[in-house]
Amino acid sequence: MPELVFFSGTMDCGKSTLALQIEHNRSARGLQGMIFTRDDRAGEGKLSSRLGLVTDAVEVEDDQDVYAYVVDHLSKGGRADYVIADEAQFLAPEQIDQLARVVDDLGIDVFAFGITTDFRSKLFPGSQRLVELADRVEVLQVEALCWCGARATHNARTIGGRMVVEGAQVVVGDVDQSEDIGYEVLCRRHHSRRTTAASARAGVLSPDVLPVDAVSRT
Ligand SMILES: Nc1ncnc2c1ncn2[C@@H]1O[C@H](COP(=O)(O)OP(=O)(O)O)[C@@H](O)[C@H]1O
Ligand SMILES: Cc1cn([C@H]2C[C@H](O)[C@@H](COP(=O)(O)O)O2)c(=O)[nH]c1=O
Looking at residue 142, the DSSP 8-state letter turns out to be: S
Report, as an integer, the average pLDDT of 145-163: 96
Q: Is 80 exceeded by the pLDDT of residue 75?
A: yes
Residue with the larger pLDDT of the pair 217 and 113: 113
86 appears as a binding residue in the annotation: yes
Tell me whether residue 45 is in a domain.
yes
- Indicate the pLDDT class of residue 116, thresholds 50, 70 and 90: very high
Q: What is the pTM of this model?
A: 0.93
Q: Is 60 exceeded by the pLDDT of residue 43?
A: yes
DSSP strand E in the chain: where? 4-9, 33-37, 46-48, 54-56, 58-59, 82-85, 109-115, 136-139, 154-159, 162-164, 181-186
Please state, in angstroms and rounded to a whole number, the distance separating the CA atoms of residues 195 and 49: 27
- Indicate the pLDDT class of residue 216, thresholds 50, 70 and 90: very low
Considering the domain architecture, whether residues 121 and 149 belong to the same structural domain is answered as: no
Smallest CA separation from ligand 2 atom 19, residue:
170
Q: Where are the alpha helices (DSSP H) in 61-211?
A: 66-75, 93-106, 125-133, 188-192, 197-202
Tell me whether residue 212 is in a domain.
no
ipTM over 0.95? The verdict is: yes
Distance between start and end Cα atoms, the chain: 57
Query: Where is the domain boundary, 100, 115, 139?
Result: 139
Report, as an integer, the average pLDDT of 123-135: 98
Considering the domain architecture, whether residues 84 and 131 belong to the same structural domain is answered as: yes
Considering the domain architecture, whether residues 155 and 127 belong to the same structural domain is answered as: no
- The answer to whether 138 is a known catalytic residue is no
Considering the domain architecture, whether residues 92 and 168 belong to the same structural domain is answered as: no
Q: Is 70 exceeded by the pLDDT of residue 212?
A: no
Tell me whether residue 83 is in a domain.
yes
Query: Where is the domain boundary, 87, 111, 139?
Result: 139
Task: Kindly identify the ligand whose nearest atom is closest to the C-alpha of 7.
Answer: 1
CATH number at residue 14: 3.40.50.300
Percent of the chain whose predicted confidence (pLDDT) is above 70: 93
Tell me whether residue 95 is in a domain.
yes
Please state, in angstroms and rounded to a whole number, the distance separating the CA atoms of residues 200 and 62: 39
Query: Where is the domain boundary, 86, 107, 139?
Result: 139
Please state, in angstroms and rounded to a whole number, the distance separating the CA atoms of residues 161 and 203: 13
Percent of the chain whose predicted confidence (pLDDT) is above 90: 88
Q: Is 90 exceeded by the pLDDT of residue 171?
A: yes
Q: How far is the CA of 184 from the centre of ligand 1 (A)?
A: 14
- Indicate the pLDDT class of residue 207, thresholds 50, 70 and 90: low
Please state, in angstroms and rounded to a whole number, the distance separating the CA atoms of residues 138 and 206: 37
Average pLDDT value for the chain: 93
Considering the domain architecture, whether residues 92 and 155 belong to the same structural domain is answered as: no
Considering the domain architecture, whether residues 123 and 156 belong to the same structural domain is answered as: no
Report, as an integer, the average pLDDT of 183-208: 86
Strand 33-37 with 58-59, pairing: parallel
User: What phi, psi does 212 have (nearest 5°)?
Assistant: -55, -45
Q: Which domain range does residue 113 map to? A: 4-139
Considering the domain architecture, whether residues 190 and 132 belong to the same structural domain is answered as: no
Is the Cα torsion angle 68, 73, 75, 76 positive or negative in sign? positive
- Indicate the pLDDT class of residue 180, thresholds 50, 70 and 90: confident
Identify whether the C-beta of residue 124 lies closer than 8 Å to the C-beta of residue 8: no
Is 170 near ligand 2, meaning CB less than 6 Å away?
Answer: yes
Task: Kindly identify the ligand whose nearest atom is closest to the C-alpha of 156.
Answer: 2
When divided into structural domains, the chain yields a total of 2
Ligand 1: list residues with CB < 6 Å.
9, 11-17, 49-51, 142, 144
Lowest mean pLDDT among 69-83, 120-134, 164-178, 194-208: 194-208
Q: How far is the CA of 39 from the centre of ligand 1 (A)?
A: 18
Angstrom CA distances, 166 to 155, 180, 205, stand at 14, 15, 26
Tell me whether residue 163 is in a domain.
yes
CATH number at residue 160: 3.30.60.20
Is the Cα torsion angle 104, 107, 111, 112 positive or negative in sign? negative
- Check residue 213 and give its pLDDT: 56
Is 86 near ligand 2, meaning CB less than 6 Å away?
Answer: no
- Check residue 203 and give its pLDDT: 74
Considering the domain architecture, whether residues 38 and 51 belong to the same structural domain is answered as: yes
Q: Is 90 exceeded by the pLDDT of residue 3?
A: yes
Q: How far is the CA of 143 from the centre of ligand 1 (A)?
A: 11
Considering the domain architecture, whether residues 130 and 174 belong to the same structural domain is answered as: no
